[in-house]
Structures are given as C-alpha cells and as structure tokens.
Amino acid sequence: MPFASSKIIQNPDRLQILRDLVLLDTPEEEPFDRLTALASKIVGAPVSLVSLIDADRQFFKSALGLPEPWASDRETPLTHSFCQHVVATGEPLVITDAREHPLVHDNLAIRDLNVIGYLGIPLETSDGYGLGSFCVIDGKPREWTTDEVEIMRDLAKMVMTEIELRSELIARKQIEGKLRTVLIDLENANRQFRRMTIFAESTIQHTIKAVQLGAQESEILTYLQSAQQGLNRKN
C-alpha cells in the first residue's frame, strides 16, 4: 500500500508544531464537534472527521459516524489513513470510489472502516505546515460536487480558526500562570525584605542605645555578631 511521502509526514518541524498545539490525545471539544456535525449535515455524508496526522498514526480530534472500535479509540494507524495524502500534497483529495483509486485502492480503511467515497481538505498553519485533514466519508461511491468541495474548504478554514484560537488561549493561560508565579515570588521577596529591614532597624537602635549607656566595645561586638547570625538565618 502506498504511504504518503515520509519526508513530509516525518518532518520534525511539522511534528513539533503539531505537538506544540496540544491537540493530540486530548478529549473531544464542542467547537470541533459542531463543525463535524455541520459538515455531515450540509454535505449529507455519514462520517466527518477532524484528523491530525502524527508520525505513525492519525488522531481524530473530532469524529462523527465512525464504527467501533475506531470511534472509541479515536485514532488509526497510517495503514488506515487517507488523510495522510492530504497532508503530503497540501491539496484537497476527492475520491469517488476508493476501491478504484490508484492512491488508496489497497488502503485498509476500505475494508475496516468502509471508506469508499472520500473528500478531504488540508488543515494547514499560516506557515504552510499540514496538520491533518477535515474530511467527509461515504460508505458507497460518491460524486462530490464543486459546491461540496467549496463548502468543505470554508469549514476547514473554520476548523483552523478554532485551532488557532485554542492555541492562543493555551498560550495566554501559560503566560498568566508564569505571571502569577512571578508575582508570588515578588511578594515573598518583599515580605523577606520587610522582615530584614525591621530587623536591621532594631539592631541599629539597640546598638545606639548600648553605646549611649556606655557598653563595652566587646559587648557591642558580641551583640552585632549575634545579630548578624540571626540575619543569616532569616535569609
């Protein structure tokens, strides 16, 4: 069975971007599920997927209409992936009958997932890295119309918008977490500084009073050494 270009699928930059987005192996999320449901409803296809192509598998961020156990697993190996070819070419993949298509005719998804008609649109970052495919699938031969392809293009853009918004939200939360840590550290430092200031003022006042009362130099020195030890402990 032909696999998509390993040079593209295994590209470390592409894979790192995919991991940085924190999408793989995450729970289903309503925004993506709404889009797969909308795609199936508008196009009239029983299956719709947001498929992300990892190094050796495809993970479904959203999956509507898959049979078991794939629906629960939410992933397949690349032996069962049409979407890998969408990532490899960066172009829509329109298949009327997969059993007769030279690229996928022996793909195991035909046998195991009943993938016959397939329409997949690339999910790409602004830098041109392919993440996966937004696709609809039929269990019988299907002539996809130009309008259906354009509808899927528009919905795929919406999927990418959700991915980008989600990424920005995660980044914002991470920054907020770091800021909270910095603020806590600053507050702890301020408290420590205030304690040291109070201790230093008390030591100075005590030393001045001891001098005024005629304390011996050795007594004053002993006191200051003791104060220094106490200050070190506070640090």
For 65-124, how does the pLDDT look when each residue is reduced to its tens digit (9 = 90+)? 999 999 999 999 999 999 999 999 999 999 999 999 999 999 999 999 999 999 999 999
Mean pLDDT across the chain: 86
Q: Side by side, which strands form the sheet with 75-77?
A: 75-77, 57-64, 47-53, 130-138, 117-124, 93-95
Q: Which pLDDT score is estimated for 203?
A: 63
Q: Residue 169 — pLDDT band, cuts 50, 70, 90?
A: confident
Q: Which pLDDT score is estimated for 127?
A: 87
Does residue 165 surpass a pLDDT of 60?
A: yes
Read off the tokens for 216. Answer: 């011996």
Q: Are residues 192 and 153 in the same domain?
A: no
Read off the tokens for 138. Answer: 């039929």
Match 């995919």 to its residue by tokens. Answer: 18
Q: Would residue 1 count as lying in a domain?
A: no
Structural domain ending residue among the three candidates 155, 173, 191: 173
Q: Would residue 25 count as lying in a domain?
A: yes
Q: What is the mean pLDDT of residues 201-208?
A: 65
Comparison of pLDDT for 199 and 125, the residue scoring more: 125
Q: What is the mean pLDDT of residues 11-39?
A: 96
Q: Would residue 35 count as lying in a domain?
A: yes
Q: Are residues 26 and 77 in the same domain?
A: yes
Q: Are residues 38 and 52 in the same domain?
A: yes
The count of structural domains within the chain is 2
Q: Which pLDDT score is estimated for 110?
A: 97
Four-point Cα dihedral 65, 71, 74, 76, nearest 10: -90
Read off the tokens for 40. Answer: 């199936």
Domain region containing 158: 6-173
Q: Are residues 27 and 138 in the same domain?
A: yes
Structural domain ending residue among the three candidates 173, 188, 212: 173
How far is 26 from 195, CA to CA, in rounded Å? 46
In the chain, the percentage of residues whose pLDDT exceeds 70 is 71
Would you say 227 and 210 are in contact if contact means Cβ atoms under 8 Å apart? no
Does residue 28 surpass a pLDDT of 60?
A: yes
Give Cβ neighbours of residue 15 (< 8 Å, ≥ 6 apart).
54, 55
H helices of the chain, in order, are 6-9, 12-20, 30-43, 70-73, 83-89, 108-113, 146-212, 217-234
CATH number of the domain that residue 26 is part of: 3.30.450.40
Q: How far is CA 233 from CA 44, 196, 197, 207, 218, in A?
A: 74, 11, 14, 20, 23
Residue type, 96: T
Q: Residue 4 — pLDDT band, cuts 50, 70, 90?
A: confident
Among 124, 130, 134, 106, residue whose Cα is nearest residue 36: 134
Would you say 45 and 138 are in contact if contact means Cβ atoms under 8 Å apart? yes
* End-to-end CA, the chain: 67
Q: Residue 6 — pLDDT band, cuts 50, 70, 90?
A: confident
